[in-house]
Chain A
């Protein structure tokens, strides 16, 4: 029962997100609807988290979480009803017909979904409080909010030991505390359901985006590889924020790619909103915003159109302003930069052993990423060499812009390890796998969006 309640408590936000995006970006082809449903999960929960933060800040009451969600859902439903003729959801504008190959891939995907649900629930039941990061950071902060009620600001006390990361953004903790306030109890199933919605969002978004840019078969293959990477099913019930950040990295990359193809400013505005929510999820999101700004500048340069920055700026404004307020007025100093001196920075930057250690750990973690018995990277590389890349010439700007985002984020992580004040070995060991996971779904999108699809291979 508590598992069901955990899912129900966030359902209004998820549905509202999908409905509102449907109003902003019209069309009801199945792939497009899948993208919108996937986006809706993360953006709906993100919008709820931002509004809930404002409610706490302005009124200092914690009881409004459900009302915010229901308000957003009512708005989404009202707009969907008002625009039902111009912008219907059903019936689909394209009839779904599957080839034999697609049916086979769909069957395999169905089996994989079934197994993944089993793994998810076994893992969730074994670890109701989630993983280490959940007790240390997100659920701990949620407890400060829920148990502290009107004194929730204690969660940002500088007296809290640095290891608890009281400076971390509040997306997840706020939504967990909001769910507890709605349910009237500290239900860990709510935190796990939040992770599950993010996982569902990632799967739908990745598959929808690959189907939209390539084919149904390619989309099913992408879904199979994603769910066949066990770390994703493992992360759902861990109640940490890395899966959420993965979602926003993927969402931003997909929206920027789609903008380049469709040239609809709303897609760039949504990309701005998603990247802002990435920074509202984890500190790594700040680096991500920088990477996305570079990609936008690149697109503006390639399209000879500086105006692309306007919708992006409008999209990022709300989450960016909330984050800025949090960082300036509430959050204590970050452990990575609190005691940094120029001398120690220079020492670290010129220490070749640090480069060697970070480089070898990156290689090792990438090759063996995913908690699988086989190297996913090796298989995908072999697959790419044999099946061959088939990027569309008209999408080159999109591919390059998205690759730029991932490259900047990747090298940014490398640079952060270089200057970390903590024991480098410990820092790499405890975080690198999760950082790679944050970029993995977006990398999978780029990979499958640029590769020959199975329909073409089997049609030869």
Chain B
């Protein structure tokens, strides 16, 4: 009975210590998990600021193309997915629709992907180039 009581008391102490240990471990982990100096999302937002300033419209739907839309391009699907999400976040309240069916299309393309995409569309789009492999395309023929 006495041993059982001691075990119960020890367990309460153990729970307290483990909670403190978990908490300290997490505090140490947070310091190695990133940096305060660099904010990836704000950086992605800033990347598209010149594009938004160039757009003649304030609302509506925009097309969105990236390396995953280019046949034979190398890309990591999860990176492309995250970039699409971040770009939509940056462009809100515009709606970013994947593909090139809209009048204005935002491109986040590697140089090779850009060449491959524009090569077969010469004369059909006016393109604007920005820093960081960012493009804005204006579809010239809106009848299709």
Contact = CB atoms under 8 A, between A and B. Distances in A.
Same complex origin of A and B: yes
Contacts of A151: 59, 93
B26 A112 contact: no
Contact of A122 (B30, B81, B84, B93): B30
A123 B92 contact: no
Contacts of A108: 16, 19-20
B4 interface: yes
Chain B contact residues: over half helix, strand or loop, or mixed?
Answer: helix
B15 interface: yes
Given A105-B16, A122-B27, A164-B85, A159 B61 contact: yes
Given A118-B27, A135-B89, A161-B97, A228 B22 contact: yes
A164 B87 CA distance: 12
A132 B19 contact: no
B140 interface: no
Nearest to B89: A135
A221 B93 contact: no
A139 interface: yes
A59 interface: no
Interface stretch (B35-43, B103-111, B115-123, B126-134): B35-43
B92 A147 contact: yes
B12 A454 contact: yes
Contacts, number: 138
Give the interface centre of B7, B25, B30, B95 by most chain A CB atoms within 10 Å: B30
A126 interface: yes
B8 A386 contact: yes
Contacts of A164: 85, 88
B33 A383 contact: no
A227 B23 contact: yes
Contact of A224 (B5, B15, B84): B15
B78 to A, nearest CB: 10
A454 B39 CA distance: 45
Contact of A457 (B9, B16, B27, B85): B9
B19 A112 contact: yes
B85 A163 contact: yes
A25 B11 CA distance: 37
A154 B30 contact: no
B24 interface: yes
Contacts of A161: 84, 88, 96-98
Given A108-B20, A387-B11, A144 B93 contact: yes
Contacts of A386: 4, 7-8, 11
A161 B92 CA distance: 13
A416 interface: no
Contact of A148 (B19, B20, B26, B59): B59
Interface residues of B, number: 45
B56 interface: no
Interface string A193-230: 00000000000000000000000000001001101111
Contacts of A118: 27
B57 interface: no
A69 B33 CA distance: 36
B59 A126 contact: no
B70 interface: no
B51 interface: no
B41 A111 contact: no
A374 interface: yes
A32 interface: no
Contacts of B84: 161
Nearest to A452: B8
A73 B31 CA distance: 38
B100 interface: no
Contacts of B31: 122
A160 B34 CA distance: 31
Contacts of B42: 128-129
Given A371-B26, A458-B9, A127 B34 contact: yes
Nearest to B23: A115
A159 B95 contact: yes
Contact of B19 (A157, A225, A460): A225
B26 A135 contact: no
A371 B19 CA distance: 12
A126 B31 CA distance: 9
Contacts of B25: 230, 372-373
Contacts of A221: 12, 15-16
B97 A143 contact: no
A190 interface: no
Contacts of B4: 386
B20 A228 contact: yes
B59 A143 contact: no
A122 B24 CA distance: 13
B16 A126 contact: no
Give the interface centre of B4, B19, B96 by most chain A CB atoms within 10 Å: B19
Nearest to B41: A129
10 contacts: A116-B23, A125-B36, A135-B89, A143-B93, A161-B97, A230-B29, A372-B22, A379-B15, A387-B8, A454-B12
Interface of A: 105, 108, 111-112, 115-116, 118-119, 122-123, 125-129, 132, 135-136, 139-140, 143-144, 147-148, 151, 154-155, 157, 159-161, 163-164, 221, 224-225, 227-230, 233-234, 370-374, 379, 382-383, 386-387, 454, 457-458, 460
Given A108-B20, A126-B34, A386-B4, 4 more contacts: A125-B36, A135-B89, A225-B15, A230-B29
